[in-house]
Structure 1
Amino acid sequence: MPGPGAAIALSLVATGLAAVLVYALRRPASRAERRASLQAWRNPWTYSWVALTVIACVGFSALVGLAAQSWQIEMRPSNAVLGEAIRNHPLLLLLFAALIAPAYEELLFRRVLFGRLWAAGRPGLGMALSSLAFALVHEPPGLGASHGVGMLLLWAVYAFMGAAFAWVYRQTGSLWTAYAAHVLNNLIAGAALLTAGA
């Protein structure tokens, strides 16, 4: 088995190449889109939308976790195995999980998949499909640590996150807002994993 550094490098190369290639071939941003995206950051409401999105994602995850606990349903997300690796290599793994992976995922799921359907006048379908794909990539069927209802609850959590990131992207018109919300969400999750075994 490769060590954490090698595993991260392999994931980075595989995900990064796929995201950049699909983005470049299918949905590169136009000059007008880049200008509008940067202008969105001058709007003070943009920061409120990002904060609201993160609060919704963290809150929904916490509520689902509490419900699972009260119903005695085991929810073990696949990324829980990163807990020890994060404690041993916190900067390396948090850099990957909180900065790099969200960039690639936002390009693939929000810019390309959601963005193409949004541009085609089908934002609802785009949100549904991109959220489902986001959930399945984070908890692949049959490969995750959870099964049955636990897996369904994890899919619900990730699908909600995917929908929230798509929503903030559409609300502000800037992919950077979805990226910022994703980064903050992952920083909070990474901090939770880091302190869970402390």
Structure 2
Amino acid sequence: MSQPHLSSEATDPASAALPLRRVLPAFAVDVALAATLSFSTLMLGLFGWAVWRGIQLAQQHGGAPDAHALQAQIGTPPVLFLIVTTLVSTGGTALLLYVWRRRATAAERRESTRRLGKPSTWGWALAAGGVTFLFSSLMSAGGRALGLDLQPSNLDLIREGFARFPVFLTLFAVVLAPLYEELLFRRVLFGRLWRAGWPVLGLVLSSVVFALVHELPGLNGKPADSTLFLILVYAGMGAIFAWVYRRTGTLWAPIAAHILNNAIALAVLQIYGDAPA
């Protein structure tokens, strides 16, 4: 499969906004497909690991152990397996939905290439990356001053992954995650509503979905007020990435901004032992 071209949305503008009754169902289908494919792939991976681990334990004990004992001994998957499974499930979903639902046209590819050569594109990308980190830092500081629990749900996984596999974790957090997240949330989700003539609505909805993927209420083990605050932080970050995508017209700009934000956050985590959301 050829690599997707991360392209502009502005080369084939609609003369007027399409009716929301046509646009929102397509957006909802994108979200439903993304959630279903990503979750099912993740669960399949976890189930496969549990089966493999169960077979290992049965061989060690010379037969199938008691069900309760087996469940206790299986434990949790290793950190590297969890990171790779996340990469496959979410990254694979992003790539599939891009090819299936929002593949770039030849005109979009040409326009994206042209805009990559503009110094302003990279200036906006660098500015957006810095602003995103500053925004998340200030919001996190304010939330902690209010006594909220603002440790991101994936922070422990990142810490353990960096301690054991620093090169791979850095590659995953700084490069791979921004690539597939921007492909999914900005190109597929935001891009659909932007192209249909509803960029502000697209910015809001795609940013909310982006936030919910990072902090899902009821599943992150945090109080409601902390979860809501984290959702606001992540939604704000997603809005900045969507804005710079629209401003520059090439998906490489929010990817670069996302990479810069994650690189700074990871460096701060290693130096100070903490990082903003």
1:61 and 2:133 matched: no
1:193 and 2:263 matched: no
The structure where helix makes up a greater share of residues is: 1
Count, aligned residues:
198
1:42 and 2:153 matched: no
Distance 1:80 1:145, change over 3 A: farther
Aligned partner (choices 71, 77, 101) of residue 26 of structure 1:
101
Deviates more, 1:128-137 or 1:58-67: 58-67
In structure 2, runs of 5+ residues without a counterpart are 1-75
TM-score under structure 2 normalisation? 0.68
> What corresponds to 1:131 in structure 2?
207
What is the one-letter code of the residue matched to 2:143?
A: A
CA offset digits 1:134-189 (Å, max 9, x no partner) = 00001111122432222122111110111111101100000011111111111112
2-side partners of 1:147 and 1:48: how far apart? 39
SS in 1 for 2:103: coil
2-side partners of 1:196 and 1:50: how far apart? 26
> What corresponds to 1:102 in structure 2?
178
1-side partners of 2:270 and 2:162: how far apart? 6
Q: Which has the higher contact order (CA 8 A, sep 6+)?
A: 1
In structure 1, runs of 5+ residues without a counterpart are none
CA offset digits 1:42-76 (Å, max 9, x no partner) = 11111211122112111111111221232222212
Larger radius of gyration: 2
SS in 1 for 2:154: helix
What is the one-letter code of the residue matched to 2:222?
A: S
2-side partners of 1:16 and 1:163: how far apart? 20
> What corresponds to 1:52 in structure 2?
127
What is the one-letter code of the residue matched to 1:100?
A: L
- Percent identity between matched residues is 48
**What displacement does 1:5 show?**
1.7
> What corresponds to 1:71 in structure 2?
146
Contact 1:77-1:145 at 8 Å conserved across structures: no
Write out aligned runs for 1:130-169 (5 A): 130-169=206-245
> What corresponds to 1:90 in structure 2?
166
**What displacement does 1:38 show?**
1.5
1-side partners of 2:258 and 2:115: how far apart? 17
TM-score under structure 1 normalisation? 0.94
SS in 2 for 1:78: coil
CA root-mean-square deviation: 1.5
1:7 and 2:82 matched: yes
Contact 2:129-2:256 at 8 Å conserved across structures: no
SS in 1 for 2:189: helix
1-side partners of 2:87 and 2:139: how far apart? 30
